């Protein structure tokens, strides 16, 4: 990022190549729409490029980038109603059985709907914790809040998700998506 601030566009290209999948995944999991996620990813990298001269490495670049993506997603969530879609495609098992496929599809739809019912801040905390595997400190940095606030957001989200996701056993929920603690 410091090289980008000095005008090195090759350095910026490397940042984009290194982080584009993460940016798109966070946006897609939060917004539930591929084209919206692409728009957010483009907006995020444009903001990063414009902010390069003012960038100061006070935190990890990934935290800075996810903060930008989080804000863009939450802004979009305030402006639009959720679109119900399947979860982003995960790597399929070699040959899942038909019942496993049905259960997984039902679970993915239930998770998507349950997430969309959450307030934006809770939804973003869940996406960053359980999909991106960020710790509380990184989430707090990305969401520009405190670790205690992240803890409360996740506790409220887990409580809200317990009902809609209670029908799925923890071992089913962990096979794709990492929602074991949420599905209990």
Q: Which pLDDT tens digit goes with each residue over 136-174?
A: 999 998 898 999 999 999 999 999 988 888 776 554 444
Q: Are 155 and 147 in contact (CB under 8 A)?
A: no
Domain 98-183 -> CATH class: mainly alpha
Assigned CATH topology for domain 2-79: Rna Polymerase Sigma Factor; Chain: A (1.10.1740)
Residues whose CB is less than 8 angstroms from the CB of residue 54 and which lie 6 or more positions away in sequence, other chains included: none
Average model confidence (pLDDT) across the chain: 82
Residues whose CB is less than 8 angstroms from the CB of residue 148 and which lie 6 or more positions away in sequence, other chains included: none
Place of tokens 């869940």: 126
CA distance 112 to 105: 11
Record the pTM: 0.65
Higher pLDDT, 50 or 86: 50
Question: Given this model, what pLDDT does residue 95 score?
Answer: 65
CA distance 140 to 56: 18
Q: Which pLDDT tens digit goes with each residue over 37-82?
A: 999 999 999 999 998 888 888 778 888 899 999 999 988 887 765 5
Domain boundaries along the sequence of the chain:
2-79, 98-183
Q: Are 87 and 111 in contact (CB under 8 A)?
A: yes
């Amino acid at each position: 990022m410091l090289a980008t601030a000095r005008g090195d566009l090759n350095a910026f290209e490397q940042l984009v190549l290194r982080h584009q999948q993460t940016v798109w995944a966070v946006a897609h999991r939060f917004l539930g729409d591929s084209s919206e996620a692409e728009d957010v990813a483009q907006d995020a990298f444009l903001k990063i490029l414009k902010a390069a001269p003012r960038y100061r490495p006070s935190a990890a670049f990934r935290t800075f980038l996810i903060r930008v993506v989080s804000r863009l997603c939450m802004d979009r969530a305030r402006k639009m109603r959720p679109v119900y879609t399947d979860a982003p495609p995960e790597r399929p098992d070699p040959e899942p059985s038909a019942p496993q496929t049905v259960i997984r599809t039902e679970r993915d739809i239930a998770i998507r709907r349950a997430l969309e019912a959450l307030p934006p801040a809770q939804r973003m905390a869940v996406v960053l914790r359980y999909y991106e595997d960020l710790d509380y400190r990184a989430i707090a940095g990305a969401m520009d809040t405190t670790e205690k606030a992240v803890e409360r957001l996740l506790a409220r989200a887990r409580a809200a998700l317990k009902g809609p996701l209670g029908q799925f056993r923890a071992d089913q929920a962990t096979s794709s998506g990492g929602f074991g603690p949420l599905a209990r």
